Structure 1
Amino acid sequence: MASAGRSGVGTNQEDVRRHNLGTVLGHVHGAGRISRSDLTSRMGLNRSTIGGLVGELEDLGLTAQGKSLGARAGVGRPSVDVLAGPGAVVLAADVRVDGLSVARVGLGGVVQARATGPVPAGHDPEVIADSVAELMRLVLKDIDPTVPVVGVGAAVPGIVRAEDGFVRLAPNLGWHEVPFSALLAERLGAGMSPVLGNDADLGAVAEHLRGAGVGVDDLVYLSGEVGVGAGVVVAGRPLEGAGGYAGEIGHVPFVPDGKLCHCGARGCWETEVGGVAIAAAVG
C-alpha cells in the first residue's frame, strides 16, 4: 500500500511539473520575452522553482535567457528575461479563393519563412492539398533538421468541422463535404494531423492574440476578401456556437428581394457587400 501511495504522489508531482512547464512556455510564447520576476508573479511560484522550469525549457531549446530590458526594481540582482527559443516550429497555411500562403512560425509568433502560390484552376481539393504540401516543404527547406515541427494549421474560407478538419461547405471554392485535413495529412506524412479552421474565426483569434485586438477581450473580426465572414471573441475566448459555426454571416439575408446569390438565395451579405460587389460599385 505504501508503495502504491508513493507512486501516486510521484505521478501527481510529474503532472504538476508538466503543467508548470507548459504554463511557463505559454507565457513566453505569448509575450515573446518576459522577465523571470513576471513569471514568478503570474504563476505564484518562487524564484528557484521558476529558475528550474526555465532551465528545463532552455535545455530543450524552447527558451533562452537574456539581459533584462526593463527598469530595475528594488535592490539585488536584476531579473533575467526569458526569451522564446528556436527549438520548435509550426506550419500555417491560408487557403484563399485567389491564392495560397504558407508560413513557418517559431515560438513567440515569429514568422521565420513564407511562401505563396496560385490556387490551382478548378479549386480541386486534391490538387490544392498537393500545392499546400509543396509550399510547406519549401518553407522547411532551410530549417535545422533537429528542430521538430510540432503542429500544422490551415485556414479555409468555409464551414469547418473543427474536430476532424472536415470542410462541410466552402461555396467560393466549390467544396462540399471535403475531408481537407485528411487530404493534407496524407501528403505531409510523419504522423502530421493538420488542424483546420474557418479563416474569419482564426483571424479573430490572431488579432486578439497578436494584432489590433491585443488587450481587448470582446471583438468582432470581419473578413470580406471575396466572401463575407465573421469571427467573434467574447470574454477573451472564441465564440464557436453550438455547432462550431458561429460567425457564418455570408449567406444571412441582408437585402430583402436583393441580388441573386450563387447559394440560391437573394440579398445575402456576400452578394450585397462582398469583394465582387464592392469592386462593381467602384467601377
Structure 2
Amino acid sequence: MRAEALRVQGALALLRHAHAHPGVTRAEAAASLGLSSGSATEIMGRLRAARLLGERPVAATGGRGRPSTELVAHPDGPLVAVVELTHATWRVTTAGIGGELAPAPVHRHRGGPPEAVLAEVRAAVEQARARAGGRLAAVGVALPGTVRGTTAVQAATLRWRDVDLASLGGGLPLTVGNDASLAGVAEALRGAARGVPVALHLTVEVGVGGVLLVEGRPVLGATGAGGEFGHVPFGEPGLACPCGATGCWDVTVDGRAMARRLGRPAPDDPRGFAAEVLAAAAGGDGAARAAVTEAATALGRGVGALLNALDPAIVTLGGLGADLLDAAGDALLAAVRPAAMAWRRAALPPIVPAALGSRGPSIGAAESALGAVLDGLAQDLLTRR
C-alpha cells in the first residue's frame, strides 16, 4: 500500500509540474522532482492511460543521446470554460492542463439587467460544454467587481449588486474572482511576478483593482473580497464614487479623471476615452498630456502608499496602469518616492508592466478553475488507490 501511495503522489506531482511548466521535458521534470528515469516512465504511463498528460518529441538539437519528449496536455484531457466579463464586453473560451487559452471572439453587451448579460454568457458556456464532448470539468469566471464565493456583491461599472453567478457552472465546479485579482494570480504564476515571494499587482481599467500575492497565492481577506485598492481614500475627499463612498482612488486615475481635467463630461466608456487621450498626448496635444500626467501622478502616489502598507518585492501594473507607466513613467515614479517612507526611497521595488497584458484576467480565471480540477483529480486518485 505504501508503494502505491508513493506512486500516486508521484503522479500528482508530475501532473502539477507539467501544468505549471508548459513545455517541460520528461527528463527535466524527473530531475526537478527527484524521480528516476524508470519511475518517470511508469508514472507517465499512468497519466497517459488516465488521459491527463501526453508527450511529443522535442525538436532535434543535433546532440547525441536519446531524443527527449516534452509533457503536454492529453488531447482527450480535461478542459475548463473561462468566462471574462468587463464593463462592456464578455468572452467565453477554454483551457486545458498547461493553461493555454483557446482563441475565442469578444462580444459586446449593453449592460442593463444582469439576467440579460448572463443569459448570453450561459448559452456560450453550454456551447463550449457541448463542443468539449464531456471533457469540460469546471468553469472559471473573471469580472470587474467585489466577489464573495460565486456572488458579485458589487460590480459598480456593471451596476450589479448581489448577483449570483452559480448558474454559469451548469452543475460543474465554479470559481469566480475579481478580474484584477485574477490577473495578479496570473502574473505570479506565469508572468512578471513569477518566483517573487511577495508581489503587488494593480490593474487600472475603470478604477483600480489588484491583489497582494504571497508565494504566488492571493491574499483575499476574511470573505474573499480583498484587493479593492481603488476604494481606499487616496483620491479627492469630496469626490463621489459609484461604489457609494467618497474620495476613492478609483476615480482619480482613469478616463473619468482625464475627462474632468479636460473639462469634458463623464465618458460612457472611461477605458476607451483614456485610450483616446493617451493617443492625443502622444501626438503632442498639451492638454491631453497634462491629463495623462495628472492620472499617472495620482497612480504613483497610491503605489507609494501601498509600498508602505504591504511591503511587496515587485509591483506589476496592468491595463491603463501599464499605459500610464509607458506614457508618463517619470511622473508616476516621481510621485511614488515622496509617498514612500524615507528609508524605502533608495531602493524602491521594481514597478513594471504586467507581462500578460489583457490576457491576465482570463489566464487567472483558467488557473483558478484548473486548480479546482487538479484538486479533484488528486482526491480521486488518492481515494481510488
Distance 1:235 1:197, change over 3 A: same
1:134 aligned partner: 123
Tell which deviates more after alignment, 35-44 or 78-87. 78-87
3-state SS, counterpart of residue 250 of structure 1: helix
Q: What count of residue pairs does the alignment treat as equivalent?
A: 262
Q: What's the CA shift string for 1:55-81, capped at 9, x where partnerless?
A: 1222233322233458699x8535433
Higher RCO by CA contacts (8 Å cutoff, separation 6 or greater)? 2
3-state SS, counterpart of residue 256 of structure 2: helix
- Of 159, 167, 174 in structure 2, the residue corresponding to residue 194 of structure 1 is 174
Distance 2:62 2:9 in 1: 30
Distance 1:99 1:149 in 2: 23
Distance 2:185 2:62 in 1: 34
- Of 154, 162, 178 in structure 2, the residue corresponding to residue 169 of structure 1 is 154
Distance 2:56 2:237 in 1: 62
3-state SS, counterpart of residue 119 of structure 2: helix
The structure with the largest helix share of the pair is: 2
- Of 60, 73, 77 in structure 2, the residue corresponding to residue 84 of structure 1 is 73
C-alpha contact (below 8 Å) 1:208/1:217 kept by paired residues: no
- Of 30, 35, 38 in structure 1, the residue corresponding to residue 20 of structure 2 is 30
Instruction: Supply the AA of the counterpart residue of 1:155.
Output: A
C-alpha contact (below 8 Å) 2:111/2:158 kept by paired residues: no
Q: What's the CA shift string for 1:97-124, capped at 9, x where partnerless?
A: 11112211122222223132222431x2
2:224 aligned partner: 244
Distance 2:150 2:260 in 1: 34
Over the matched positions of the two proteins, sequence identity in percent amounts to: 34
1:205 aligned partner: 185
Q: Which runs of 5+ in 1 are unaligned?
A: 1-9
- Of 222, 229, 244 in structure 1, the residue corresponding to residue 209 of structure 2 is 229
Q: Which runs of 5+ in 2 are unaligned?
A: 262-276, 278-287, 289-385
Distance 1:280 1:19, change over 3 A: farther
Instruction: Supply the AA of the counterpart residue of 2:137.
Output: V
Please give the TM-score of this superposition, normalised by the length of structure 1: 0.81
Distance 1:213 1:99, change over 3 A: same
Distance 1:275 1:16 in 2: 55
2:248 aligned partner: 268
Distance 2:154 2:224 in 1: 13
Distance 2:62 2:194 in 1: 26
Distance 1:137 1:103, change over 3 A: same
- Of 141, 146, 161 in structure 2, the residue corresponding to residue 159 of structure 1 is 146
C-alpha contact (below 8 Å) 1:29/1:109 kept by paired residues: yes
Instruction: Supply the AA of the counterpart residue of 1:150.
Output: A
Distance 2:5 2:144 in 1: 38
Distance 1:166 1:140, change over 3 A: closer
C-alpha contact (below 8 Å) 2:188/2:194 kept by paired residues: yes
Distance 2:141 2:243 in 1: 24
C-alpha contact (below 8 Å) 1:101/1:115 kept by paired residues: yes
Distance 1:275 1:14 in 2: 58
